[in-house]
Structure formats: C-alpha cells, structure tokens
C-alpha cells in the first residue's frame, strides 16, 4: 500500500512539472501560436531558478527569476513569429537549442551542486493528518498550483470569460477576430509570453522542489513531452492537468521498477516515458478517429496572420 | 509615397543577402559574448583557423565532421522537401550506427562482404527508426516533430544500454564503449575515409534524380500543397511515409559511416548532435540538394569552433547555443527578406 502511495506521490511531483509547462502551452496554442521552445525555456528557467535562489537564499526569488526568464525567452519567440511572422516551427526549434545551450553555459559553475534554498512541502491543515491519503495533502506549492489552481483558472478564463472567447477566436479565425476589433497580434503575443513564463516556472519546479540540483540535460525531453501532452488533452486546461498526472505515472514507472528491483536494465526502464508518450500520441488517433474532431487543434494554429491576406 | 508589401515568392538573391547578414549577426554576438567571458578574440580566431584550414590535421578533421553532417543534412532536407520536419535524425543516426556495429562485431566475414552488409543494416535501421513516426504522420496525422524527437532519447538509452551491458568493451576496459570493430571503411588519405565520397555521391544523385523524376515531383507537390496533390491524383499519405523512411535511412547510413569510418567503436556520445546540426545544414541548403555540400562545410567549421571553445573551458553545449542563434537569425532574415518597399505615385 505504501508503495502505491509513494508511486502516486512521485507521479504528482513529476507530473506537476509537465502540468505547468502544458498549461502555458495550452494558452499559447489556443491563441494560435505553437511554441516548440518549451524545452529550452524550461532549461533556462531551471538554471536561473538555481542561480537566483543561491544568490538570494530565497526560493521565491528563484521562482520569480524563472518566470521572468521564461517570459523573456517567449517574448523573443513572440516578436519573431507574431510580430514578424517568421516560421513558428523553425523559431521554436531554435529557441529549444538556444535555451539548452545557454543554460548549460550559464549553469556550468553550479552544475551538480546542491541548491541552497528550496521549497519545503506545505501540509494542508486537517487533510494532511488523514491516514494513508494524508500524504497527498502534504505537497510542494508547485503541486497545488499545477493541479489545483491553474487548471481551474485556465478553464474559467478560456471558456467563461470574454477574454478567453477573444483568445480562442484569435486562434481559430484571426481574420474574423480582427474584423470585430480584437487586436490579433497583441493577444497572441501576450498568450505566448504568459505561456513561456509558465514553462520557466516548470523549470523552477524541477530545480527548487522535485530534484534540487542543476545538471546539464536534466530537462531530458520533458518540454517535448509537455507539447505532446497538449495535443493529447485536446487543448483543455483541466484535461491537461489530468493527463499530466497520467504522464507523471508513466514517468514514475522507471523509478518504481528500479525500487522494486524489476529484472530490467535501468536504461531500458528509462525509455518508458518517451515510449509512453509516443503511444499516447498514436493510440488515440488509431482507435478513436472520431475523437480527432472533438479534440482538434485550433484552426489557425501555426499560421501567421497577415491582415492584407484576410 | 512608399509602402511595404510582402512578396509571395522571394528572390533567391534577397534570401542570400539576408542570410549573410544573419551569419554576420551570429558572429558579432559570439565575439561579444567571448569578449565578455574574458577571452582574447585574436587568439580564439587563430586557434579556430589552425584547427580548420590552417593545418593538415585541421583539414582532415573538417572532412571527418562534414561526412555525418552531409548525411543528416540530406536526411532532414529530404523530409523538408515533402513538408516534414525530421527532428529525429540524431536517433536514426544512432540506430544506423548500432546496426552497423552489430555487423562489425559479430559477423566473421571479409570486409568485402561485411561493409556492404553494414551499409544495408545502417540504411534499414535508420528507416526502421523513422517508421513509426512516418506511419503516424502519413495515416493518422500525428505530428512527426514530436515523435521523431522523442525517439532520439530512446536511441541514446539503447546505445547506452548496449555499450555498458552486452556489448561493453571487456578487452581494454574503455568506459561507455564497445570493443573496437573488426571492419573499417577504407581510408583515402590520413584518417579521411571513403564514407565522405559516398556521401557526396548520394547527395548529388539525390539532387539529380529528385529534380527529374516523377517521384521527386510528387514528393515536392505533396509537401508544398497536399490538397492540390490530392486533386492531381497523387496519394499523399504513401509519399509522406516513403519520404520519412528514406530520410531515416540516409541518417542511418550516416551513423554507419561514422562508426565504421571515424570512431571505430559504438560509444555513448557518438552522435555528437549531428542530427540537430543536420537541421541547420538542410535549412541553409534550401531547395537545392547540391547546396547541402557547402552548407555541411560551413556547419563543420562551426562545430570545430565549438570544439576549440571547449578546450578554452567554455561548455561543450555552446555549439547548441550558437546553432540555435543561427537558426533563429535565419528564420527571421528569411521572413524580413520577403518585404519590399514599393514606390507608389500619389
């Protein structure tokens, strides 16, 4: 029993990283911009969180720095692809390379050293005292944010407010949105920047809570898994949180297997998150072709908007 | 009066000038960053020149780097031709290298037999590694960008498992490495092997045949406008599938050349980021396969610069950062090149 609880706790912690990045990506993609630079932004967020937390001995300032770096990186992407209408695929890949490379250069001196200020878990009064499931209510603030607060806020904003309606209009049919007076490029730019800030925060979640040390290559494709997850969850904030937990469980399987002493070599176990993600992309498309209509991407996703061609 | 308009088709000359400016921009940024790190630019430049054009060893190194870059570049280029982003050349490269290693380690045959077999194994393994993303994209519409990329991680875990487990070197005890292979590609001069020549032949043959064949035309049509291709009677899905398979096969062959020609062992860091750098090579080459050759040369110089920087205590990942900056600058410059000022009479 305790083993299963520990598996779920592991999944919550690792899933929160994916959930934060995925919420940001949902926002950007709903506005019609596909940000393939999540991986790079997460790396930059992770390393700046460590540097800022070490310098200030406050994990909060580390968080703030990672938010700022994520937003800044996404702003560069937004200026190039939204304001300048350059290729989103290309700029996203470039941002990933740039982020991974820069973070390694910046973090060269702190690589492998323990982070001086990290987040401790916050027990929810009352609930955390309950036997067995009490551990679920004794989590880092990132977990509450990723699975409790953000999905609700994201859902309400996207589907219950005028702001969200406009944002979705910009992603579905920017020409029509423009015609009714919605500033298309402004909405897209803001969505990308906010999404990038969350990707940076996902990096901080890693280095300030889940595994408090910076090392090169520690993001290990989680940014790409988050992008895959956004497609899997059909661009919906609540489903994004649920699927993050599912993906988190798959990621935890390798740790679970090692702890249990499964007779499988660890490099093979380490493949499971990536294999799992590929299966999660292929199997729904294979078995439920009808679902593709319901879970479809925003119609103008990845297409730059030119007012002249409206 | 003047106003700006965006050209639908951009003249090659404008793109070229834009990209020269982009390259210049990257060099300036690099120089500023290095100066800020306290390195003497003159010394760095001298080191880069001596390790590339300046010496015989430098030129040999350049040729050795060019070979895998040419192959991964060709792989990504072929995908782009069909409108596909093969970000997984790194994994396909490793898969090809692994298959070639299996032949090199375990097949007791003369080089005359085992070399063609290793090449075939590399081609097949690379194609196999891209088969799932290819089928997913062609018939199910699953983004090939993400699936090909995720397979890179799986490939590197596979290689790591093999070279630390069943294929680990028990002769010299080298870490994260297989034993030295029994076969090798013949050398031309010094350490430069015939793989590079084979790569050049393949790229030229690809350029000639795709530009003149029905298959090449249908591939480009499927890539640039799938709807138009469909109405013209081209079945798009099989074309996409085959294009991505061939793309993987080219990268796999590159892996075979690297392991049998240059490294002679299967190792952890074998792919060296060649798959990712191949994206830049393909991008620089644009629509011409022949342009892959100078593009691979340029990237080989950049890769060598990164290695020089590594000896100066800058992180090895600086190559990745430089590459990212270059891709970004190219993407922006290509877009800006499309805008022209139009003089209008009032």
Residue contact B161–A91, C-beta within 8 A: no
CATH number for the domain that contains residue A128 = 1.10.3470
pLDDT digits (tens, 9 = 90+) for B331-343: 999 999 988 888 7
Task: List Cβ neighbours of B134 (8 Å cut-off, separation of 6 or more).
Answer: B144, B240, B241, B243, B244, B245, B248
Distance CA A244, CA A20 (A): 9
Q: Which residues of A touch B319 (CB under 8 A)?
A: 101
Helix (H, G, I), strand (E, B) or coil at A50: helix
Q: What is the pLDDT of residue B285?
A: 92
Give tens-digit pLDDT for A149-158: 999 999 999 9
Q: Do B317 and A105 touch (CB under 8 A)?
A: yes
pLDDT band of residue B38 (cuts 50, 70, 90) is: confident
Mean pLDDT in residue range A274-289:
90
Contact B161 A225 (CB under 8 A): no
Report the percent of chain A where pLDDT is more than 90.
69
Domain assignment of residue A307, yes or no: no
Residue B206 has pLDDT above 90, yes or no: yes
Least confident among A94-98, A129-133, A300-304, B46-50: A129-133
Please indicate whether residue B250 or residue A252 has the higher confidence score (pLDDT).
Answer: B250
User: pLDDT tens digit string along A244-268?
Assistant: 999 999 988 888 888 788 888 888 8
Does A184 map to a domain? yes
User: Cβ B150–A278 below 8 Å, yes or no?
Assistant: yes
Residue B174 pLDDT more than 90?
no
For A:63-122, CB contacts with B below 8 A are 76, 80, 84-87, 89-91, 93-102, 104-105, 108
pLDDT at residue A20 tops 90: yes
In a domain, A126, yes or no: yes
A37-77 per-position pLDDT tens digit: 999 999 999 999 999 999 998 999 999 999 999 999 999 99
Q: Which residue from B80, B239, B304 is spatially nearest to B89, judged by alpha carbons?
A: B80
Alpha carbon of B323: minimum distance to chain A alpha carbons (Å)? 7
pLDDT of residue B313: 76
At A121 the pLDDT is: 84
Give me the number of domains chain A comprises: 1
Residue A112 has pLDDT above 80, yes or no: yes
Per-residue three-class SS string for A187-243: HHHHHHHHHHHHHHHHHHHHHHHHCCECCCCCCCCHHHHHHHHHHHCCCCHHHHHHH
Given this model, what pLDDT does residue A171 score?
96
Q: pLDDT value at position B1?
A: 55
Question: Residue A46's Cα: distance from chain center in Å?
Answer: 12
Question: Is residue B74 within 8 Å of residue B260, measured between CB atoms?
Answer: no
Tokens of residue B137, six digits: 């994209």
**pLDDT for A1:** 62
| Residue A176 belongs to a domain | yes
List the domain boundaries for chain B: 1-39+312-346, 61-294
- pLDDT at res. B346: 56
In a domain, A202, yes or no: yes
pLDDT band, residue B44 (cuts 50/70/90): confident
Q: Compute the residue count for chain B.
A: 346
CA distance B330 to chain A (A): 9
List Cβ neighbours of A81 (8 Å cut-off, separation of 6 or more). Answer: A33, A87, A88, A91, A192, A304
Task: Supply the pTM of this predicted model.
Answer: 0.93
Q: How confident is the model at residue B178 (pLDDT cuts 50, 70, 90)?
A: confident
Can you read off the two tokens belonging to residue B261?
Answer: 């020609």
Q: What pLDDT was estimated at residue A50?
A: 95
Residue B176's Cβ-count burial label (10 Å; 0-12, 13-18, 19+) is: middle
Quick check: is A25 in a domain?
Answer: yes
Cα(A36)–Cα(B146) distance, integer angstroms? 9
Cβ of A94 and B327 within 8 Å?
Answer: yes
**The pLDDT of residue A310:** 62
Contacts of B3 (CB under 8 A, 6+ apart): B341, B342, B344
Mean pLDDT over all residues of chain B? 90
Q: Which of residues 125-144 of B touch A (CB under 8 A)?
A: 132, 136, 140-143
pLDDT value at A294 more than 60: yes
Instruction: Give chain A's radius of gyration (CA, Å).
Output: 19
Query: What mean pLDDT do residues B3-11 have?
Result: 84
Structural domain range at position A203? 2-302
Q: Please name the member of B150, B276, B332 whose beta carbon is closest to the beta carbon of A86.
A: B332
pLDDT for res B333: 94
Give the model's pLDDT for residue B304.
85
pLDDT at B300 over 60: yes
First and final C-alpha spacing in chain B: 6
Q: Would you call B149 an interface residue with chain A, using a CB distance cutoff of 8 Å?
A: yes
Whole-number average pLDDT of chain A: 92
- The contacts of residue A136 (CB under 8 Å, 6+ apart) are A8, A9, A12
Interface contact B268, partner A, CB < 8 A: no
Cα separation, B335 vs A85, whole angstroms: 7
Q: What percent of chain B is predicted at pLDDT more than 90?
A: 60
Q: Is the Cβ of B15 closer than 8 Å to some Cβ of chain A?
A: no
Q: Please state, in angstroms and rounded to a whole number, the distance separating the CA atoms of residues B258 and B251.
A: 11
State the complex-level ipTM. Answer: 0.92
Tell me chain B's radius of gyration from C-alpha atoms.
21
């Amino acid at each position: 029993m305790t083993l299963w609880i520990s598996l779920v706790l592991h999944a919550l912690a690792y899933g929160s990283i994916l959930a934060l990045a995925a919420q940001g990506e949902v926002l950007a993609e709903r506005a019609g911009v596909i940000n393939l630079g999540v991986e790079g932004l997460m790396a930059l967020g992770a390393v700046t969180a460590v540097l800022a937390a070490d310098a200030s001995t406050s994990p909060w300032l580390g968080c703030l720095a990672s938010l700022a770096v994520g937003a800044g990186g996404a702003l560069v992407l937004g200026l190039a692809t939204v304001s300048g209408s350059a290729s989103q695929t290309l700029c996203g890949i470039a941002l990933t390379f740039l982020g991974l490379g820069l973070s390694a250069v910046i973090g060269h001196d702190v690589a492998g050293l323990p982070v001086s200020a990290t987040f401790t878990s916050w027990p929810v009064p009352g609930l955390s005292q309950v036997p067995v499931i009490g551990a679920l209510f004794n989590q880092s603030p990132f977990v509450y944010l990723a699975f409790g607060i953000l999905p609700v806020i994201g859902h309400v904003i996207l589907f219950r407010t005028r702001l969200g309606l406009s944002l979705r209009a910009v992603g579905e049919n920017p020409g029509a949105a423009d015609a009714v007076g919605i500033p298309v490029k402004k909405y897209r730019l803001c969505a990308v920047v906010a999404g990038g800030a969350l990707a940076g925060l996902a990096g901080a979640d890693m280095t300030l809570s889940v595994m408090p040390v910076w090392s090169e290559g520690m993001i290990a494709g989680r940014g790409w898994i988050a992008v895959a997850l956004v497609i899997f969850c059909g661009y919906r904030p609540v489903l994004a949180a649920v699927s993050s937990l599912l993906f988190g469980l798959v990621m935890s399987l390798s740790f679970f297997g090692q702890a249990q002493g499964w007779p499988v070599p660890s490099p093979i176990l380490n493949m499971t998150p990536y294999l799992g993600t590929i299966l999660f992309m292929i199997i729904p498309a294979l078995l439920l072709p009808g679902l593709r209509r319901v879970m479809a991407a925003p119609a103008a996703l990845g297409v730059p908007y030119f007012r002249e061609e409206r | 009066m003047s106003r700006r308009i965006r050209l639908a088709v951009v003249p090659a000359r404008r793109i070229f000038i834009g990209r020269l400016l982009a390259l210049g921009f990257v060099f300036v940024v690099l120089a500023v960053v290095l100066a800020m790190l306290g390195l003497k630019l003159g010394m760095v430049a001298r080191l880069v020149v001596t390790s590339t054009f300046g010496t015989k060893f430098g030129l040999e190194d350049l040729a050795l780097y060019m070979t895998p870059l040419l192959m991964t570049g060709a792989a990504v280029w072929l995908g782009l031709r069909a409108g596909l982003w093969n970000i997984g050349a790194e994994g396909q490269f490793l898969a090809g290298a692994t298959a070639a290693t299996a032949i090199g380690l375990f097949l007791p045959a003369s080089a005359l037999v085992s070399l063609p077999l290793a090449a075939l194994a590399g081609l097949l393994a690379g194609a196999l590694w891209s088969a799932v993303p290819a089928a997913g994209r062609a018939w199910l519409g699953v983004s090939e960008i993400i699936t090909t990329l995720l397979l890179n991680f799986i490939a590197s875990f596979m290689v790591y498992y093999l070279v630390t487990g069943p294929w680990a070197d028990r002769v010299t005890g080298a870490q994260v490495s297989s034993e030295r292979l029994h076969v090798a590609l013949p050398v031309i001069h010094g350490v430069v092997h015939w793989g590079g020549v084979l790569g050049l032949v393949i790229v030229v043959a690809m350029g000639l045949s795709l530009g003149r064949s029905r298959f090449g035309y249908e591939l480009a049509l499927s890539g640039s406008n799938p709807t138009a291709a469909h109405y013209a009677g081209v079945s798009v899905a099989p074309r996409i599938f085959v294009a991505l398979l061939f793309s993987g096969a080219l990268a796999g062959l590159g892996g075979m050349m690297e392991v049998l020609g240059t490294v002679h062992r299967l190792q952890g860091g074998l792919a060296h980021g060649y798959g990712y750098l191949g994206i830049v090579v393909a991008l620089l080459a644009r629509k011409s396969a022949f342009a892959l050759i100078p593009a691979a040369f340029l990237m080989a110089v950049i890769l060598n610069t990164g290695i020089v920087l590594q000896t100066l205590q800058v992180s090895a990942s600086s190559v990745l950062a430089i590459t990212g900056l270059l891709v970004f600058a190219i993407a922006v410059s290509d877009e800006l090149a499309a805008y022209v000022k139009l003089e209008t009479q009032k």
